[in-house]
Amino acid sequence: MTNWEELESACETCKNCSLWETRSKLVFGVGKLSAEVLFIGEGPGENEDLEGEPFVGRAGKLLDDMLRIINLDREKNTYIANIVKCRPPKNRDPLPEEREACKPWLSAQISLIMPKIVVCLGRIAAIEMIDQSFKVTQDHGKWYDIDGVKYMGLFHPAALLRDPNRRPETFLDLKELERVIKEICNDTYGGDK
């Protein structure tokens, strides 16, 4: 697969698992293809399924606020995707076989974007992208180097809505993320490098 349009239209017709049967819209991803920071969530919820864009519900608003704290913006300098591109019915967790079936699409997105930093939102993204034994409560905010790319896991914004007590730790994780962005990313992030 050589370019983004081809990739997205091939993904539209994907039947690698059965989630396509119950989804409304494919949720391929949103943001800048030139992004140096990629955020990965778990999978579309109800609002995302209706709009065809990741993180547009309440958790998405919180994610946008979190991004703003560190000068990131889905329209300007970051990309947001999910482990699975179609909504699991009734918002259940995507099954291991569904994650596996969807992985080639995310891998192809990563190959085209070539991010320097990948931030995994929540346990499912982190166990799929970082380590099967990842525990968000204990491993959030730590850096992992995988094939020359820096990975970090954060609490999922939906978890932060349920448990606001986790927000101060997430703020510190975001500041650490910002520190490394300023160190290794180019100056389109507007920070004083």
109 near ligand URA (CB under 6 A): no
CA distance 29 to 154: 19
- Long-range contacts for 139-143 (Cβ within 8 Å, ≥24 apart)? 140/169, 140/170, 140/173, 141/169, 141/172, 141/173, 141/176, 143/180
**DSSP assignment, residue 20?**
G
55 near ligand URA (CB under 6 A): yes
CA distance 74 to 80: 7
Member of 29, 31, 54, 94 binding ligand URA (CB under 6 A): 54
Binding mask 119-138 for ligand URA (x = CB under 6 A): --x-----------------
Number of residues that bind ligand URA (CB under 6 A): 11
Member of 29, 31, 44, 94 binding ligand URA (CB under 6 A): 44
* SS3 at position 172: helix
Member of 29, 31, 45, 115 binding ligand URA (CB under 6 A): 45
Interface residues for ligand URA in 60-89 (CB under 6 A)? 82
Q: List residues binding ligand URA (CB under 6 A).
A: 41-45, 48, 54-55, 59, 82, 121
